[in-house]
Structure 1
Amino acid sequence: MDNYSVWQLALFSLIACCVIMALVWVWSYRIKNAGVVDIFWSYNFPVIAIILFLLAPGFELRKQLICGMVFLAGLRLGTHLAIRITKHLREEEPRYAHIRKEWGANAEPKMFGFFQMQAASNVLLAIPFFIIAMNTEPQLSVFEYAGLVLWAVSVIGEAVADKQLANFKKDTANKGKVCDTGLWHYSRHPNYFFEWLIWVSYFVFALGSPYGYLAIVSPAIILYLLLKVTGIPTSEQQSLRSKPEAYKKYQATTSVFVPWPKAKT
Structure 2
Amino acid sequence: MTGLYLGALAGIAVALAVLMAGAWVVQQLTGNSGWVDTIWTFSLGLTGAVSSLWPIDGAAPDARQWLVAVLVATWSLRLGSHIAARTRHITDDPRYAAYAAQWGTDAPKRMFFFLQNQAYGTIPLVFAIFVAAHAPAGSLRLQDYLGVLILIVAIAGEGLSDAQLKAFRENSANKGKVCDAGLWRWSRHPNYFFQWFGWLAYPVIAIPFAEPLSYLWGYAALLAPLFMYWILVYVTGIPPLEEQMLKSRGDRYRDYQARTSMFFPLPPRRSATL
TM (normalized to structure 2)?
0.88
Superposition map of 1:1-265 within 5 A: 5-57=4-56, 60-88=62-90, 91-208=91-208, 210-211=215-216, 212-263=218-269
Distance 1:6 1:138 in 2: 19
Q: Secondary structure at the match of 2:113?
A: helix
- Please, which runs of 5 or more residues in structure 2 have no aligned partner? 209-213
Equivalenced residues, count:
260
Contact kept? 1:155, 1:198, Cα under 8 Å = yes
Contact preservation (8 Å) 1:6, 1:134:
no
Q: In 2, are the aligned partners of 1:39 and 1:82 still within 8 Å (CA)?
A: yes
When normalised by structure 1's length, the TM-score is 0.91
Structure 1, gaps ≥5 residues long: none
Aligned residues of 2:258 and 2:269 also touching (Cα < 8 A): no
Letter matched to residue 108 of structure 1: P
How many angstroms does 1:263 deviate by? 4.7
Partners of 2:250 and 2:191 in 1: how far apart? Answer: 21
Question: For residues 220 and 53 of structure 2, what CA distance do their matches in structure 1 show?
Answer: 23
The answer on whether the counterparts of 2:169 and 2:175 sit within 8 Å (CA) in structure 1 is yes
Shift of 1:27: 1.6
C-alpha offsets along residues 85-143 of structure 1, whole Å, 9 cap, x if unaligned?
Answer: 1211xx22222111112112211111111112222222222122121232332122332
Name the CA distance, whole Å, in 2 between partners of 1:103 and 1:116.
Answer: 16
RMSD (CA atoms) = 2.0
Amino acid at match of 1:10: L
Instruction: Please identify, of 12-21 and 101-110, the stretch whose mean Cα deviation from structure 2 is larger.
Output: 12-21
Q: Which range moved further: 104-113 or 131-140?
A: 131-140
What do residues 146-177 of structure 1 show as CA deviations (whole Å, max 9, x unaligned)?
A: 21211111111111101111111112221111
Residues 225-247 of structure 1: CA deviation (Å, up to 9, x unaligned): 11111111111111110011211
- Check whether the contact 1:56–1:134 (CA below 8 A) recurs between aligned residues: no
Q: CA deviation at 1:222?
A: 0.8
Whole-angstrom distance in 1 between the partners of 2:268 and 2:242? 17
Q: Percent identity?
A: 37
SS in 1 for 2:122: helix
Give SS of 1:137's match: coil
Cα contact 1:151–1:202 (8 A) shared by 2: no
Following the alignment from structure 2 to structure 1, what is the Cα–Cα distance between the partners of residues 9 and 144?
Answer: 22
Q: Report the CA distance between 1:195 and its aligned residue.
A: 0.6
